[in-house]
A and B are shown apart, each in its own frame.
Chain A
Amino acid sequence: MAFDGAVFEAREINAWRGDRHILRDVSFSVRPGEFLKVTGPNGVGKTTLLRVICGLLPAETGELLWRGKSIRGRRDEFNFELGHLGHLNSLKGDLTARENLKFLAGLRTTLTPELIDQTLDRTGILSRGDLPSRSLSAGQKRRLALARLLLADAALWILDEPVTNLDTAGIKLVEDLIVEHVDQGGMVIAAAHQRLLDDASCLRRLELEP
């Protein structure tokens, strides 16, 4: 899988939350093969920035460019190449793990049972495939959310605190997935408190200041 030549660029992004001017003239770019880690103290605007990139929050001024062209008016196209993992796992408790993937990841890409099984295996929850997701542990639910992200087959990953609720093995899984993704030419933008691939060569940092 090669994600060809896509570059994501943010120029002079300004965003408010209510009355507070949270993001001031934030600019950066991410190229294929890069992992951009967004850091900063609590409340500085990491989640806000990620949500602005996804279009879940409006930016008062500034521009977002994908493949060199502004995203404005082309949101759906951009969204298809974007994979988002937020604070919430977006799981329905009454559906099984497999069904959750079928009904959510399946909205973006056509899924086969083999592909679903493969992905559940990769994230280490294949044995839980037919259990209702409410009976999964917090860590397993996070892994299921990661499975959904994998199935999206998106070039740009936006991860907000991806290792929440994960044990050491889970953190290693996230790191492996990120490395695999960028090795194939994908891009990752992640907001994380913890150590996450801090020594990797593909890592670049964006430190937000209050």
Chain B
Amino acid sequence: MWTWFHKLASPPHAYRILGNLAPWFGWASLALILVASWWGLVKAPADYQQGDGFRILYVHAPSAWMSMFAYVVMAVAAGVGLVWRIKLAHAAAAAVAPIGASFTFLALATGSIWGKPMWGTWWVWDARLTSELLLLFLYLGYMALRASFDDPQRADRASAVLALVGVINVPIIHYSVDWWTTLHQPASVTKLDKPSIQIAMLIPLFIMIAGFQLYFGWAVSRRLRGEILRRERNANWLKEAS
């Protein structure tokens, strides 16, 4: 088992394996996203309270979920890289960051689009949107820190410490933002929450999440391959291959 792990941590092997996996991820994710979109837009019933506008939930909720998932993946990869000094893990964290940030941005944008017809404003200080905004700041800070170092080793390790500090903070931020939004409206539900759940609504949601996960796999595979190329540009295995 350890030999498999060691092999995976070696850049040339990872490069090859990811190259093989990526197309599978890509096509599967495209298929699932299309299915989920059709289901959500067409087949699922309109909500009796929110009408058709709520359908954007099918993109908003999975994006929010993915943004959190990506941050945890990034932090775990960074932690592995820091503790066991595995360069590929650092490369993975670097690859995941912009993808996670994009999901966060998508969640914010779809949340905003959802809110406009409902409450007439482009922004609402709702618990989820506010948490997503703070998460975006955490991603941007991580990427800014990485970019500020010329020395790639220092960039990797410093940003790893930041990611770990961030991941511990995320639950604290969530809780504090939740607490903050309930203060003025003790009885209210999160404004952008799902309408009363029916099974018919859950299915497209899960399919979309699965589709996004596969998209994540595809996007990270491609970015990570790019990172490997960049980091290993002077290595022998690359020169021999090309």
Give residues in A with beta carbon < 8 Å to B.
Answer: 18-19, 58
Given A18-B151, A18-B152, A18-B153, also A58-B85 (CB < 8 A):
yes
Q: Count B-side interface residues using an 8 Å CB cutoff.
A: 5
Closest Cβ of chain B: how far from A18's Cβ, in Å?
7
Chain A contact residues: helix, strand, loop or mixed: loop
- B232 — nearest CB in chain A belongs to which residue? A19
5 A-B pairs (CB sep. < 8 Å): A18-B151, A18-B152, A18-B153, A19-B234, A58-B85
Tell me which residues from 155 to 200 in chain B have a Cβ below 8 Å from any Cβ of chain A: none
Chain B contact residues: helix, strand, loop or mixed: loop
How distant is the Cα of A18 from the Cα of B153 in the complex, in angstroms?
A: 7
Closest Cβ of chain B: how far from A51's Cβ, in Å?
14
Closest Cβ of chain B: how far from A200's Cβ, in Å?
38
How distant is the Cα of A19 from the Cα of B231 in the complex, in angstroms?
A: 9
How distant is the Cα of A157 from the Cα of B209 in the complex, in angstroms?
A: 60
How distant is the Cα of A58 from the Cα of B152 in the complex, in angstroms?
A: 15
Chain A positions within 8 Å of B85 at CB level: 58
How distant is the Cα of A19 from the Cα of B153 in the complex, in angstroms?
A: 10
Chain A positions within 8 Å of B234 at CB level: 19
Q: B75-94 interface mask toward A, CB cutoff 8 Å, 1 = contact, 0 = none? A: 00000000001000000000
How distant is the Cα of A34 from the Cα of B127 in the complex, in angstroms?
A: 67
How distant is the Cα of A182 from the Cα of B212 in the complex, in angstroms?
A: 67
How distant is the Cα of A18 from the Cα of B231 in the complex, in angstroms?
A: 10
- B231 — nearest CB in chain A belongs to which residue? A19
How distant is the Cα of A177 from the Cα of B152 in the complex, in angstroms?
A: 40
Chain A positions within 8 Å of B153 at CB level: 18
Closest 5 CB pairs of A and B: A19-B234, A18-B151, A58-B85, A18-B152, A18-B153
- B153 — nearest CB in chain A belongs to which residue? A18
Tell me which residues from 124 to 162 in chain B have a Cβ below 8 Å from any Cβ of chain A: 151-153
Chain A positions within 8 Å of B151 at CB level: 18
- B85 — nearest CB in chain A belongs to which residue? A58
Chain B positions within 8 Å of A58 at CB level: 85
Closest Cβ of chain A: how far from B78's Cβ, in Å?
17
How distant is the Cα of A58 from the Cα of B151 in the complex, in angstroms?
A: 15
How distant is the Cα of A11 from the Cα of B153 in the complex, in angstroms?
A: 24
